[in-house]
Amino acid sequence: MNWSGQKVLVTGAGGFIGSHLCEELVRQGATLRALVRYNSRGTYGWLEDSPPELRRSMEIVQGDLRDQDTVDRFVKSSQYVFHLGAIISIPYSYIAPTEVTQVNVGGTQNILNACLRHGVRRLVHTSTSEVFGTARYVPIDEEHPLQAQSPYSASKIAADKLVESYSRSFDVPAVTVRPFNTYGPRQSARAVIPTIIVQILAKMNPKLGSLTPTRDFTYVSDTVSGMIAAMNAPKAIGRSLNLGTGTEIAIGDLIPLIGELLGTKPLVDPDSSRVRPEKSEVQRLLSDNTQACELLKWHPQISLKEGLRSTIGWFESHMDLYRRALEGYVV
């Protein structure tokens, strides 16, 4: 697709993945409206870290996905919608499951209602590999059972099913993409790769919970390119597609790898407060990305080592933003 002049709305635009997606869409010529959650400081999340020449090309608006009037107003003049807006913290979902449900489920329904009302050309809805829970078989394909092992994953399953229902019932032209553990510059320190990097850079032994779970880590530029490809592919409508690399690594094996790239051999300090409840821990995630590769003509390009080098470089120059995380805050 030639994005020049196309009117695009991105929800969750101030987040980690959303900010990278917005920048790429602007580079490709889209007329972009970036929706960020309102806050009293008037800040725009990670879009404030975007290069000024890109940020000037975005219309940044504030609102709350739970408000149907707000969502309707911003969808009304959009041809394409990327829906990333959500509360994504699993630990926070243990504390505030009602808020997580209201935003992730109710907000998605508001987006769907607006897309139906205003006839958008396509909606790309962002899910998560957490909806699969601990793998019953690997690699995980799109037919794998959905298992709610946290309030967060339950809210995303519900949102995914709403998207599926609107596609089947009302012909809303929607595609659901399921990124597998995206990482890269700007990611919150609550995620495992930034947690390890930030603590090692601060000359600390990494404090971590369980080291045995495995994850399929996908660099953020690959996730973004997959999402954009999902907006373009004619055969993707009505489908849910995995965006992962098809490789896995245990959390415990990440530590020496990151240490090697930083020229050190870190020792881990076990931290029981970081361990999920036993039945909530997802032990293994490994994607089968065959359908995405075939339908979207998409293939991940960045190896784990290459992506980690880039991520480390960014964190080295932005450590001042993560001081609170080192003091025990969740960011």
CA–CA dist 252, 209 (Å, integer): 10
pLDDT of res. 331: 35
pLDDT of residue 283: 85
Question: Are residues 230 and 289 in contact, defined by beta-carbon separation less than 8 angstroms?
Answer: no
- Report how many domains make up the chain: 1
Q: What is the pLDDT of residue 298?
A: 97
pLDDT of residue 297: 96
User: What is the 3 state secondary structure string of 41-107?
Assistant: CCCCHHHHHCCHHHHCCEEEEEECCCCHHHHHHHHHCCCEEEECCCCCCHHHHHHCHHHHHHHHHHH
Whole-angstrom Cα distance, residue 262 to residue 256? 10
Lowest mean pLDDT among 40-44, 86-90, 130-134, 208-212: 208-212
Distances (CA, A) of 197 to 44, 100, 102, 157, 207: 25, 28, 33, 31, 11
Is residue 25 one of the residues assigned to a domain? yes
Give how far Cα 234 sits from Cα of 24, 116, 120, Å.
21, 19, 15
271/130: higher pLDDT:
130
| φ, ψ dihedrals at 69, nearest 5° | -65, -40
Task: Give mean pLDDT, residues 300-323.
Answer: 94
> Do the beta carbons of residue 200 and residue 257 sit within 8 Å?
no
Q: Half-sphere exposure of 205 toward its Cβ, with a 13 Å CA cutoff?
A: 6
CATH number at residue 104: 3.40.50.720
What's the confidence (pLDDT) of residue 102? 98
List the single range of 85-99, 151-165, 175-189, 206-220 with lowest mean pLDDT. Answer: 206-220
Q: Tell me if 331 is assigned to some domain.
A: no
Q: What is the mean pLDDT of residues 246-267?
A: 94
- The pLDDT of residue 254 is above 60: yes
Q: How far apart are CA 192 and CA 171, in angstroms?
A: 38
pLDDT (average), residues 236-249: 97
Query: Tokens 């990670």 identify what position?
Result: 46
User: 189-242: per-residue pLDDT in tens?
Assistant: 888 999 999 999 999 888 887 888 999 999 999 999 999 999 999 999 999 999
Q: What is the mean pLDDT of residues 6-13?
A: 98
pLDDT band at 326 (very low <50, low <70, confident <90, very high): low
Domain annotation covers residue 40: yes
Give the per-residue pLDDT at 40.
84
Statement: residue 328 has pLDDT above 60: no
> What does the pLDDT read at residue 330?
41
Q: Which pLDDT value is given to residue 275?
A: 65
pTM for the predicted model, two decimal places: 0.94
Residue 266 neighbours by CB distance under 10 Å: 18
Contact 78, 7 (CB under 8 A): yes
Q: What average pLDDT score do residues 154-171 get? A: 98
Distance CA(174)–CA(3), nearest Å, equals: 18
What is the structure's pLDDT at 324? 67
The answer on pLDDT for 329 being more than 80 is: no
Bridge partners of 126, per DSSP, are: 177
Domain-embedded: residue 210 = no
Q: For the chain, how many helices (H) and strands (E)?
A: 13, 13
Highest mean pLDDT among 41-45, 145-149, 206-210, 323-327: 145-149
Tell whether 192 is covered by a domain: no
Q: Tell me the average pLDDT across 77-84.
A: 97
In a domain, residue 74? The reply is yes
Res. 278: pLDDT tops 90: no
The mean pLDDT value for 60-67 works out to 97
Query: Does a structural domain hold residue 266?
Result: no
> Comparing C-alpha atoms, which of 219, 194, 197, 203 is closest to residue 304?
219
Pairing verdict, β 269-270 and 218-219 = unpaired
Q: Residue 96 has which token pair? A: 């505030």
Percent of the chain with pLDDT over 90: 82
In a domain, 29, yes or no: yes
DSSP letters spanning 162-226: HHHHHHHHH---EEEEEE-SEE-TT--TTSHHHHHHHHHHTT---EES-S--EE--EEHHHHHHH
Which structural domain, as residue segments, surrounds residue 179? 7-185+218-246+286-302
Q: Is it the case that residue 271 has pLDDT exceeding 70?
A: no
Interior/surface letters 134-168, b for 16+ CB within 10 angstroms, e for the rest: ebeebbbebebebbbbbbbbbbbbbbbebbbebbe
Q: What pairs with residue 176 in β-bridges? A: 125, 240
Confidence grade of residue 32 (pLDDT, cut at 50, 70, 90): very high
